[in-house]
Homo-oligomer: A and B are copies of this chain.
């Protein structure tokens, strides 16, 4: 039988995944978990696909801002529009994750759900990563695809729990990850039901509904899933609460933290990445029982 995790190098991390899945699926084990409770949550940016030098979400909004600036050239002189339009990564990063993301989301206000989905699909069809030279939607990590398939083949239900915008991820989640739209949780603007082009639809408002980061990820897991996950995978301090929440339940559980330490094949970064730092989670991983995954050491292949 071929190895379902062939892009994972042999070692303690891969072994911990295989042992965990064996324990919770073994009907004879005291750690057996019924399929309905086999909930696995994955962060998206930096966990399932590349988030350097900026999250895909930010690049998408940046192109949206160019579109808006063509209609209203005065925007180009205003900050933080100016920083986005000029690809001034340093100024964008100085806004911090929430600041940059919220500003990005606001450029979607007034768009209908169908309109946004069409925009997102069109952009994802052709937008190229500036350094990797591949489509953003192809900047997906092969070991994670194998891991999600492996979990699903073992009766797990896989969810994305991301700080990124819920609807941008939904536009790519089925194609990229085989995760249906309804299993995506993310940040979102509030919406209003209204008629647009004669059709009753949902329109995005310019007010944030939820910024799905840190403790809010746990609250949104409660709201959307209503079960405590038994498996969590993240890569930043924003995922620590979700990992701790996952590990705090009874029985066998696994939380993994991806450390981007592979400048040769992807990027090497952690504490200084202002748009999603990995610092506290790295320091406390051992004490919380979170297992650190080294991209360099544990992944035989990085991209699909």
Check if A193 sits within 8 Å of B180, measured CB to CB: no
Residues of B contacting A218 in the complex (Cβ-Cβ under 8 angstroms): 193, 202
Inter-chain CA distance A78–B180, complex, in Å, is 48
Interface assignment of A209: CB less than 8 Å from any CB of chain B? yes
Residues of B contacting A36 in the complex (Cβ-Cβ under 8 angstroms): 174, 180
Inter-chain CA distance A191–B220, complex, in Å, is 9
Residues of B contacting A241 in the complex (Cβ-Cβ under 8 angstroms): 193
Check if B223 sits within 8 Å of A188, measured CB to CB: yes
Contact of A223 among B39, B193, B209, B228 (CB under 8 A): B209
11 extra interface residue pairs, beta carbon distance < 8 Å, beyond A200-B245, A202-B219, A224-B224: A39-B182, A157-B182, A166-B226, A182-B226, A191-B219, A191-B223, A192-B215, A192-B219, A193-B241, A201-B248, A202-B218
Interface assignment of A108: CB less than 8 Å from any CB of chain B? no
Q: Mark A69-110, 1 if CB is under 8 A from B, else 0.
A: 000000000000000000000000000000000000000000
Residue of B nearest to A201 (CB): B248
Check if B245 sits within 8 Å of A193, measured CB to CB: yes
Instruction: Give the distance to chain B from A197, nearest Cβ to Cβ, in Å.
Output: 11
Residues of B contacting A190 in the complex (Cβ-Cβ under 8 angstroms): 219
Interface assignment of A225: CB less than 8 Å from any CB of chain B? yes
Interface assignment of A181: CB less than 8 Å from any CB of chain B? yes
Instruction: Give the distance to chain B from A219, nearest Cβ to Cβ, in Å.
Output: 5
Interface assignment of A167: CB less than 8 Å from any CB of chain B? yes
Residues of B contacting A183 in the complex (Cβ-Cβ under 8 angstroms): 182
Pairs A–B under 8 Å by Cβ, sample size 13: A113-B222, A166-B223, A181-B226, A181-B227, A182-B224, A188-B223, A190-B219, A191-B222, A193-B215, A200-B245, A201-B248, A202-B219, A224-B224
Interface assignment of A199: CB less than 8 Å from any CB of chain B? yes
**How many copies are assembled?**
2
Check if A219 sits within 8 Å of B193, measured CB to CB: yes
Check if B170 sits within 8 Å of A244, measured CB to CB: no
Interface residues on chain A, number (Cβ under 8 Å): 38
Inter-chain CA distance A209–B219, complex, in Å, is 11
Interface assignment of A278: CB less than 8 Å from any CB of chain B? no
Inter-chain CA distance A157–B188, complex, in Å, is 23
Interface assignment of A61: CB less than 8 Å from any CB of chain B? no
Closest 5 CB pairs of A and B: A181-B226, A200-B248, A202-B222, A193-B215, A182-B225
Check if A225 sits within 8 Å of B191, measured CB to CB: no
Inter-chain CA distance A279–B227, complex, in Å, is 37
Residues of B contacting A209 in the complex (Cβ-Cβ under 8 angstroms): 223
Interface assignment of A151: CB less than 8 Å from any CB of chain B? no
Inter-chain CA distance A153–B302, complex, in Å, is 39
Residues of B contacting A193 in the complex (Cβ-Cβ under 8 angstroms): 215, 218-219, 241, 245
Inter-chain CA distance A248–B241, complex, in Å, is 40
Residues of B contacting A219 in the complex (Cβ-Cβ under 8 angstroms): 190-193, 202
